[in-house]
Homo-oligomer: A and B are copies of this chain.
Amino acid sequence: MNVIPAEVVTPAVLIDVDVLDRNIERMAASMLGRGLKLRPHVKTHKTLEIARKQLAAGAVGITVATIGEAEVFAADGVKDIFIAYPLWVEAPHADRLRALATACRLAVGVDSAESATTMGRQLGADAGSIEVLIEVDSGHHRSGVLPSEVVEVANAAAAAGLTVSGVFTFPGHSYRPGMPTGAAGNENDALGLAATALTGAGFEVTTISGGSTPTALISGESAATELRPGVYVFGDAQQLELERCSWDEIALTVAATVVSRHEAAGGNVRRVVLDSGSKILGSDRPDWATGFARLPEYPEAKVTALSEHHATVVWPDSSELPPLGTRLLVIPNHVCLTMNLVDQVTVVRGGAVVEQWAVAARGRNN
């Protein structure tokens, strides 16, 4: 399994392109088989080459989180972009949205009457060229309105001159063991209620958009017309521990080196330190996770702490501590953060480097 090419200087992000391609195909096939459109969230990878693969495999367009991300992918020729975020639009945002809407079909999120009114006012005569989807809270309790409040927001959006085309939700409460199936049910219920309310109020609902890698492959009747999973392209330690992907579906790893090694002594724990810290792995660590990352070659090893450039790995009693200088693969907890920490990634196939890809939209936070 450990196929870190000799020329890779650690720490570095490796993408196994064969695994990536299989992940892209699997999700595309599942969506097609269920009559759902796939609009992958590209904040996961921020990489032009991967978006092109997703579109070639049948994705109808892409999802992004920021105007800046939309600009990067629109400049690469993507023609259908949804900014799945409750934008608060001031004059500079309006100028950028206008420019985007001339380059692609553009939809944006909105979750209050006031944001819709402000957006319409800032866009002025161009408001109608932007589609809006009303964000619904399906149980994550972050942004979004209750299904019962959707019509009020849609009316404000329509009054502001915007084109209301449907609803969306992100069932982020799926990110906890035992939750994906229930969250998928909540998502379905909330989208169904919200879409029915909009239709009842006279809106033509063309898009009902759901999301999340943990819920996307849960089959069953769906109120959604499209889904927006992101992480599925790579998988990560969170998805492994949620049992939403298997070890052989992990396409992204961080190549790391053992730089410090400590047999138990002086009351200390038996551990190694790797050169992959929070500045490449990211430090997301939900309370249910077993640690800050996973080691595919040593599933029993626990990554108990991350500093910026150190990962402390408590070693299982069942195996020898690896020698200093050993190169190991590390699976980050949350790949979206890892991709945002590097300017480029090393693409490998069968243990050989085949390409470097730029993380084109890295750091596009606004």
Contact = CB atoms under 8 A, between A and B. Distances in A.
Interface string A1-37: 0000000011110000000000000000000000000
Interface string A78-96: 0000000111101011000
A188 interface: no
Contacts of A279: 337, 340, 363, 365
A98 to B, nearest CB: 16
A60 interface: no
Contact of A324 (B12, B115, B343): B115
Contact of A278 (B141, B146, B337): B337
A310 B269 contact: no
A118 to B, nearest CB: 7
A282 B280 contact: no
Contacts of A285: 283, 285
A77 interface: no
Given A268-B137, A278-B337, A308-B65, A88 B142 contact: no
Contact of A283 (B261, B269, B283): B283
Interface in A292-345: 305, 307-310, 312, 324-325, 336-337, 340-343
Nearest to A92: B9
A283 B280 contact: no
Contacts of A278: 282, 284, 337
Contact of A43 (B85, B268, B308): B308
Main secondary structure of the interface of A (DSSP, over half): loop
B337 A363 contact: no
Size band of the A side of the interface? 35 or more
Interface in A253-294: 257-261, 265-266, 268-269, 271, 273, 275, 278-280, 282-285
Given A85-B309, A341-B340, A324 B142 contact: no
A27 B98 CA distance: 49
Interface string A137-166: 100011110100000000000000000000
B324 A172 contact: no
A187 to B, nearest CB: 16
24 contacts: A9-B92, A9-B93, A12-B366, A43-B308, A66-B309, A86-B273, A88-B257, A88-B259, A88-B325, A111-B260, A137-B268, A141-B268, A141-B269, A142-B273, A142-B305, A142-B310, A143-B273, A143-B310, A146-B266, A279-B365, A280-B365, A283-B337, A340-B341, A341-B341
Interface of A: 9-12, 43, 65-66, 85-88, 90, 92-93, 111-112, 114-115, 118, 137, 141-144, 146, 172, 257-261, 265-266, 268-269, 271, 273, 275, 278-280, 282-285, 305, 307-310, 312, 324-325, 336-337, 340-343, 363, 365-366
